[in-house]
Structure 1
Amino acid sequence: MPQIIILPHAEQCPEGAVIEAQVGETVLDAALRHGIEIEHACEKSCACTTCHVVIREGFDSLEESDELEDDMLDKAWGLEPQSRLSCQAVVADRDLVVEIPKYTINQVSEGH
């Protein structure tokens, strides 16, 4: 079973974390299942960028992003070549190292 190493993030995961992921689930679903509350304002429908992450290791193991995801990523804060929407990045058979960016462009946080 692959692991996802979440790098420390001041709000969502201050200590960082190492979590187990299932092949075929998204990075977002794995994180949520382990109590790491990555924002996802569009409820995982690839209609926003609040779940933007940067895949620091293991990027090549993910399927390529599609045109819709690429269009959304163009609007993400802090976009990098290894950026993905965590609701669309499906875990394969390799470990991943994931960084949650410091900011999102979300105007209203969930739960408010």
Structure 2
Amino acid sequence: MTQIVVLPHEELCPEGAVIEAAPGTSICEALLANEIEIEHACEMSCACTTCHVIVREGYESLEPPDELEEDMLDKAWGLTPTSRLSCQAMVAETPLVVEIPKYTINMVKEGGGRK
């Protein structure tokens, strides 16, 4: 199992969390399995940016994003060089530290997203 440290997020995880995930599990699946209710409006099909996370440590251990994910990330709020869509980033053996951005842009449902 791989350790994922989730930095505090005001609404979703106010105190932060340390969770475990099996290699090959997406970061999104790991968060949801541990009751961290990250948005995933497109049901993890790489069609929105609601599950955007910033990988603060361990980014190099993830497979690089494919072209579709990169195109979607260009639309994400608060994009950084280590941003990933958590539904597409598969956990490897290296521990990760992830941050869930304060805001998200929900392109699937009208009217916004997490604030």
State the TM-score, normalizing by the size of structure 1: 0.95
8 Å CA contact retained: 2:28, 2:86: yes
Q: Tell me the CA shift for residue 19 of structure 1.
A: 0.1
Q: Tell me the CA shift for residue 33 of structure 1.
A: 0.3
Instruction: Find out whether 1:56 has 2:94 as its counterpart.
Output: no
**Which secondary structure does the structure 2 equivalent of 1:105 belong to?**
coil
Structure 1 vs Structure 2: percent identity of aligned residues? 69
8 Å CA contact retained: 2:53, 2:83: yes
The aligned residue for residue 5 of structure 2 is 5
Gaps of 5+ in 2: none
Q: Tell me the CA shift for residue 49 of structure 1.
A: 0.2
State the number of aligned residues. 110
Separation in structure 1 between the aligned mates of residue 80 and residue 96 of structure 2, nearest angstrom: 16
Where do 1:1-112 residues align within 5 Å?
1-106=1-106, 107-109=111-113
Moved over 2 A (4+): 107-110
- Greater Cα offset, 78-87 or 101-110: 101-110
Q: CA RMSD in A?
A: 1.2
Separation in structure 2 between the aligned mates of residue 71 and residue 109 of structure 1, nearest angstrom: 19
Letter in 2 for 1:54: I
Separation in structure 2 between the aligned mates of residue 109 and residue 76 of structure 1, nearest angstrom: 12
| 1:56-94, Cα deviation, whole Å (9 max, x unpaired) | 000000000000000000000000000000000000001
